[in-house]
A and B are shown apart, each in its own frame.
Chain A
């Protein structure tokens, strides 16, 4: 979420969490530089990718992940209709079941945020 300009956004917190996970891994696994970070972000995860990239650049400055390449893999939203049990791709949380029109839809995928792996040296 970006409110336009430099004001607050939770992507900055998420970027800080990414760095924290990287720094913890660096201590456990003994690496000194990160070249690439692969994130998996769900389409329904309420994350603005550009804000996350901006936040990542800011919080990694001066860290072992400075200038690391950020690769974001977007996973598609998935829903299941609670009325007719149909599974279908869900692009937004307000969508109805394409089969029966019910809004009683459970999100079954594409709402997570994970750091998958790192390329390190």
Chain B
């Protein structure tokens, strides 16, 4: 943190605590200039410094660390992404109830503000930690890594990460999850996969949610799936309704299979 004004720390809160800084022990403070005098540059020769670094390299290092930790503990992690209002939290609550403790699970909730969603998850009977990103529009791997430490996850369990409601930014940030699951509700437009292609390309599973409402809408479910497959031909799709329970058995079976595979992979690591 800058000693002059305290800048350098965002407004991210994890379970109510501030996100720790990236500075490693012994590393010097990030130096920021605050005196205008210092901005008057000397007349000195310039030189070129080659960097060739990926802008997401740092996030990807944290994501790799998370992925190694999760696989060493047999934890199957899903990153749930969607627009706001697609029914993610309701779907999570129903999923928690239906799984009924097998496998054990925990939830990381990402929102810009409020603890509301973590409270809903806890009321449903699962441990949850809320990450408030402040002005941030997505979770990143460092936030998730710290949340994972605070959650004390069980081996061979399920970790559900509900990302900030946003179909754009979370696509670029790997959290170390096994799969991104994109949730599209039938009250949205069929062409959302075309309008926000990055997310549908990054996901392995699409849940077409609120399908119980289809009789009342003009939404063309086949067209939505066709558009999604144009972006990502390998995308798996489940038609689901958290309210009526349609599609839930298929979704739960997919989760259980992922958990079994994660546990088996851990066992084979010895």
Q: What residues make up the interface of A, taking CB atoms closer than 8 Å to B?
A: 1, 7-10, 12-14, 17-18, 20-21, 23, 25, 27, 29, 31, 33, 35, 39, 45-46, 62-64, 66-67, 82, 92-94, 96, 103-104, 107, 112-121
Q: Which residue from B33, B58, B137, B168 sits with its C-beta under 8 Å from A63?
A: B33
Tell me whether B104 is interfacial, beta carbon within 8 Å. Answer: no
How far, in angstroms, from A115 to B51 measured CA to CA in the complex? Answer: 6
Q: Give every chain A residue within 8 A of B231 (Cβ-Cβ).
A: 93-94, 103
Q: Give every chain A residue within 8 A of B54 (Cβ-Cβ).
A: 112-114
How far, in angstroms, from A23 to B49 measured CA to CA in the complex? Answer: 12
Cβ–Cβ contact B168 & A1, under 8 A: yes
Interface residues on B, range: 35 or more
CB distance from A57 to the nearest CB of B (A): 14
Q: Give every chain B residue within 8 A of A12 (Cβ-Cβ).
A: 135-136
CB distance from B208 to the nearest CB of A (A): 18
Closest to A28 in B: B49
Cβ–Cβ contact B56 & A117, under 8 A: no
Cβ–Cβ contact B32 & A93, under 8 A: no
Contacts A93-B201, A115-B53 given; does A121 touch B46 at CB 8 Å: yes
Cβ–Cβ contact A119 & B46, under 8 A: yes
Cβ–Cβ contact B169 & A114, under 8 A: no
List 28 A-B residue pairs with CB atoms under 8 Å apart, sorted by A's residue number.
A7-B137, A9-B169, A10-B138, A10-B169, A10-B172, A12-B135, A13-B136, A13-B173, A25-B49, A29-B49, A45-B172, A46-B171, A62-B34, A63-B32, A63-B33, A66-B33, A93-B231, A94-B227, A94-B230, A103-B229, A113-B56, A114-B54, A115-B52, A115-B53, A116-B50, A117-B51, A119-B47, A121-B42
Closest to A29 in B: B49
Q: Which residue from B22, B112, B137, B193 sits with its C-beta under 8 Å from A20?
A: B22
Cβ–Cβ contact A21 & B53, under 8 A: yes
Q: Give every chain A residue within 8 A of B137 (Cβ-Cβ).
A: 1, 7-10
Tell me whether B125 is interfacial, beta carbon within 8 Å. Answer: no
Cβ–Cβ contact B52 & A116, under 8 A: yes
Contacts A10-B173, A46-B171, A103-B229 given; does A120 touch B52 at CB 8 Å: no
Tell me whether B41 is interfacial, beta carbon within 8 Å. Answer: yes
How far, in angstroms, from A117 to B136 measured CA to CA in the complex? Answer: 27
Cβ–Cβ contact A117 & B198, under 8 A: no
Cβ–Cβ contact A46 & B53, under 8 A: no
Tell me whether B269 is interfacial, beta carbon within 8 Å. Answer: no
- From residue 220 to 270 of chain B, which have CB atoms closer than 8 A to chain A? 227, 229-231, 233
Q: Give every chain B residue within 8 A of A114 (Cβ-Cβ).
A: 52-55
Q: Give every chain B residue within 8 A of A93 (Cβ-Cβ).
A: 197-198, 201, 231
Q: Most A CB atoms within 10 A — which of B51, B53, B112, B172?
A: B51
How far, in angstroms, from A62 to B36 measured CA to CA in the complex? Answer: 9
Q: A62-B34, A93-B198, A120-B49 are in contact. List 15 more A-B contacts (CB 8 A).
A: A7-B135, A10-B169, A14-B56, A46-B168, A63-B33, A93-B201, A94-B197, A103-B231, A103-B233, A117-B49, A118-B48, A119-B48, A119-B49, A121-B41, A121-B44
Q: Give every chain B residue within 8 A of A104 (Cβ-Cβ).
A: 233
CB distance from B136 to the nearest CB of A (A): 6
Tell me whether B185 is interfacial, beta carbon within 8 Å. Answer: no
How far, in angstroms, from A12 to B112 measured CA to CA in the complex? Answer: 15
Q: Give every chain B residue within 8 A of A119 (Cβ-Cβ).
A: 46-49
Tell me whether B217 is interfacial, beta carbon within 8 Å. Answer: no
Q: Which residue from B2, B48, B55, B166 sits with its C-beta under 8 Å from A117?
A: B48
Cβ–Cβ contact A92 & B30, under 8 A: no
Q: Give every chain A residue within 8 A of B58 (Cβ-Cβ).
A: 17, 20-21
